[in-house]
Structure 1
Amino acid sequence: MPQPDFKPIEASKRLPLIDILRGWALLGVVVMNYGEFYFIGLSPHHQSSKATDLLITIANAMFSSKSWTLLSFLFGYGFAVIMQNTRLKNVNSNSFFIKRMIWLLVLAFIDSAFFFGDILKDYAFLGLILLLFSRCSAKTSLYIGAALFLVTPVINGIVVSLAGNLDIGILAPYLPLYKSHSLLNALWFGLIGTWKGQVTDLNLGVTIHTVMFCCFLIGQAAQKSEFFNKIEINKSFIKKTWLVCLILILTDSTLVLTVKKVADMQDYLNLGYWWVMVAMTFTATSICLLYMSGKLKMIFSGLQAMGKMTLTNYMVQNFVSIILFSGFGFGFGLTHRLPAPYYYLLGLMVFILQIFISKWWLRKFYYGPVEWVWRQLSYGRRLPGRIK
């Protein structure tokens, strides 16, 4: 039974930069998730314009896989915060977190029905495994995470040799369900897509989970070392990391574009996940440096509001997607009916609207609505919601 004084971390003790990073990750998530609806059901013989190809390349370079890896890093950070809080309050941290992940899995099931690319189920599953590493020091967490990072291309190569590459056309036979005017059919498509496109796919089940868990451990290491609490002290390290990542990105891009053998090597030793992690680190350190410079305060204020309601905003994005892209509801049915730029623009528009709603909501309430429900289920008692 939780102690009477055991409660979520107070808003005043939250680090703004962590919420800002969460907000940025949510931008990438909604832009790329909505962009996927351009490709669903797309003919393999479809020829897109050079302008469209350039836009897709830019979107992929900015956001593809960088957002969920950043969110994974922040999940590991948040996990370590929760474990620290429970132990300070003499609460059984393992049982509390297991309960928390079980309820997250329930939310994931609901979210999966609205969007076949739900990530909450992965966090709930891997979060339970992370419990086994909760007592690791910052150094041990970092070393294990780094080891997983190094072996990811090998793991990916083994998985591809066993199961082949990810089949993006696997959902095509079920697309009529999504395009129908029945909400139940659209929700069923989401669950089928989650099962066939993610749960039973070795590429996602093994390779992606390895990368996620790597990020979890590095995020845990960041919290245990109080990296973000000492952000000004670590400024020099952040600058060096930013520069190294930039050099690696430029080097990799140059080699892939100019040396054919390097591109061909990706077929049997895919170093893409290394590049993703480096690019994600470059993005995160860029945001850290801009935040410390005191610039872009208005933008960071919006990202912070989004980040404080990460779970709510993520699920709302997926709820809105079923209205926009399925045949249900207003009958928009926009799946592959518009040029590619419009899908990315829709994601950006939804994100901007969410910023205003999040700011309005947080003036009245301590938490986002889904966060409030999840916290009450986790803590086993009613928590104050409205700000007095």
Structure 2
Amino acid sequence: MVTSLNQPIQQNQRTIIVDVLRGWALLGVVLMNYFDFFTLGRNWESFKPDTLTNVLMYITNIFFSAKSWTLLSLLFGYGFAVLMDNVKEKGHNPYGFFAGRMFWLLVLAFINSALFFGDILKDYAVMGLLLLIFYRSSAKTTFITSVVLLLAVPPIAAFVGALKDTSWDEVVKLFPLYQSRNLLDVLTFGLKATYFGEMILKGYLYTVHLVMFCCMLWGFTLYKINFFGKLTNNKKYIVRAFWISLGIVVFLNVFFLAYANQKWVFLKHFKLRYYMVLSSMICIGSGICWLFIAGKLKTLFEHFAIMGKMTLTNYMTQNLIGLLVFSGFGLGIWNTKPLWFYLLLALVVYILQIFVSKWWLSKYNYGPVEWIWRQLSYRKKLPLRNV
């Protein structure tokens, strides 16, 4: 029998808006991950996209490009704080418990990296350990730290971007492995491409991780002030965040258009791209919270929440399906289809996952991968089926 001391957070104890935001982010993840296969190995100098492709590329760039992993990073920081307090209340050592939990997440990341070279679980596992430094910190401390990191992003992005880096060239050399009919070759590509394309690629290693950790600290701060727990009471702040972030997005868009015609030297040393990304993420996230408070789009948000309750399972499943569709071991589609095909496939996969997740959660407490991860973390057998 599993006692309450050893049980993780139950479904009925979850904060719905957090699952809604996770579900939305997961939609962006599958869209952009499948989008990546359209771009791989493509000669962009000779490629001439048609009108539909241009429109689709613009929409995905505005709403989804880098917005999903930044939002998920924020929610990871929030979930970290929730979990640490929950574990502490139940008598566990929060530091040791969380370190063990991140170890098992790293194991899952190894598996997922073999399926898809754009794995993000490894980053959460490593960056999550850094969050332990701030476990006892106040909301003020974590927020100030995040602001300092945020100010450092543009010059660091510029400096790193100016460094010579041939890591992606190594990924390109590995493409034949992914197009092989041999499953071992395909999985080897995933692992090697993850190493060259993310783990040692300077832009990802330094800039992306800096942005990611900044978002995690934001999520930690939101938990400390019980932001999601008092969502309705915080409506005025949500509305304010929406309009301010939207204003920044509009301003930066106009600014970048102006920069396209003006060769301003200082922007070589101060890259503002991630300010656009983070402002867009905050605008979209606060917009969803605003609609949620207003009781709008209830059915859609219910579906997002269902996906959010099984984020890990659905994320890894999306990558497995991608392998079976795009690799040589599967259908071998690779980059041979128009962009609409990849985005439509992502939407179909996402919609099917909603129905499968809804059916699964009607019978079981957790998604299958979440259940395995929880048992490894708590070192206890946990009930899977609903009673």
Q: Do these two structures clear the TM 0.5 threshold for a shared fold by scoring above it?
A: yes
Do structure 1's residue 185 and structure 2's residue 194 form an aligned pair?
Answer: no
* Secondary structure, counterpart of 2:6 in structure 1: coil
Report the more deviating stretch, 374-383 or 336-345.
336-345
RMSD: 1.6
For the residues of structure 2 that align with 1:159 and 1:248, how far apart are their CA atoms?
25
For the residues of structure 2 that align with 1:18 and 1:251, how far apart are their CA atoms?
29
Contact 2:159 2:269 in 1 (8 A): no
Residue 156 and residue 48 in structure 1: after superposition, are their counterparts in 2 closer, same or farther (change >3 A)? same
* Secondary structure, counterpart of 1:107 in structure 2: helix
Aligned ranges 1:87-236 → 2 under 5 Å: 87-163=88-164, 170-236=170-236
Do structure 1's residue 277 and structure 2's residue 311 form an aligned pair?
Answer: no
TM, length-normalised to structure 2: 0.96
Instruction: Give 1:170 deviation, angstroms.
Output: 4.2
Contact 2:5 2:91 in 1 (8 A): no
- Give the partner amino acid of 1:185: D
Aligned ranges 1:216-295 → 2 under 5 Å: 216-259=216-259, 260-261=261-262, 266-295=267-296
Instruction: Give 1:120 deviation, angstroms.
Output: 0.1
Residue 302 and residue 262 in structure 1: after superposition, are their counterparts in 2 closer, same or farther (change >3 A)? farther
Residue 329 (structure 2) aligns with? 328
For the residues of structure 2 that align with 1:112 and 1:297, how far apart are their CA atoms?
35
For the residues of structure 1 that align with 2:185 and 2:192, how far apart are their CA atoms?
10
Do structure 1's residue 363 and structure 2's residue 349 form an aligned pair?
Answer: no
Instruction: Give 1:248 deviation, angstroms.
Output: 1.1
Aligned ranges 1:296-311 → 2 under 5 Å: 296-311=297-312
Contact 1:255 1:262 in 2 (8 A): no
For the residues of structure 2 that align with 1:73 and 1:33, how far apart are their CA atoms?
19
Q: Which runs of 5+ in 2 are unaligned?
A: none
- Give the partner amino acid of 2:117: F
Q: Which portions of structure 1, spanning 4 or more consecutive aligned residues, are displaced by more than 3 angstroms?
A: 166-170, 262-268
Instruction: Give 1:161 deviation, angstroms.
Output: 2.6
TM-superposition CA deviations, 1:139-197 (whole Å, max 9, x none): 11111111111110111122123335x87554221111111111111101101110110
Contact 1:83 1:93 in 2 (8 A): yes
- Give the partner amino acid of 1:207: T
Report the more deviating stretch, 115-124 or 44-53.
44-53
For the residues of structure 2 that align with 1:292 and 1:57, how far apart are their CA atoms?
29
For the residues of structure 2 that align with 1:264 and 1:348, how far apart are their CA atoms?
41
- Give the partner amino acid of 1:47: K
Report the more deviating stretch, 249-258 or 42-51.
42-51
For these two proteins, the number of residue pairs brought into alignment is 384
Contact 1:69 1:280 in 2 (8 A): yes
TM-superposition CA deviations, 1:356-375 (whole Å, max 9, x none): 10001000001000000000
Report the more deviating stretch, 227-236 or 255-264.
255-264
Contact 1:69 1:277 in 2 (8 A): yes
Residue 20 (structure 2) aligns with? 20
Residue 287 and residue 79 in structure 1: after superposition, are their counterparts in 2 closer, same or farther (change >3 A)? same
Contact 1:20 1:304 in 2 (8 A): yes
Instruction: Give 1:41 deviation, angstroms.
Output: 1.0
For the residues of structure 2 that align with 1:347 and 1:320, how far apart are their CA atoms?
10
* Secondary structure, counterpart of 2:262 in structure 1: helix
Instruction: Give 1:344 deviation, angstroms.
Output: 1.1
For the residues of structure 1 that align with 2:266 and 2:65, how far apart are their CA atoms?
21
Instruction: Give 1:302 deviation, angstroms.
Output: 0.6
Residue 76 (structure 1) aligns with? 77
- Give the partner amino acid of 1:195: Y
Q: Which runs of 5+ in 1 are unaligned?
A: none
- Give the partner amino acid of 1:345: L
Contact 2:20 2:301 in 1 (8 A): yes
For the residues of structure 1 that align with 2:195 and 2:286, how far apart are their CA atoms?
35
For the residues of structure 1 that align with 2:291 and 2:351, how far apart are their CA atoms?
20
Residue 176 and residue 263 in structure 1: after superposition, are their counterparts in 2 closer, same or farther (change >3 A)? farther
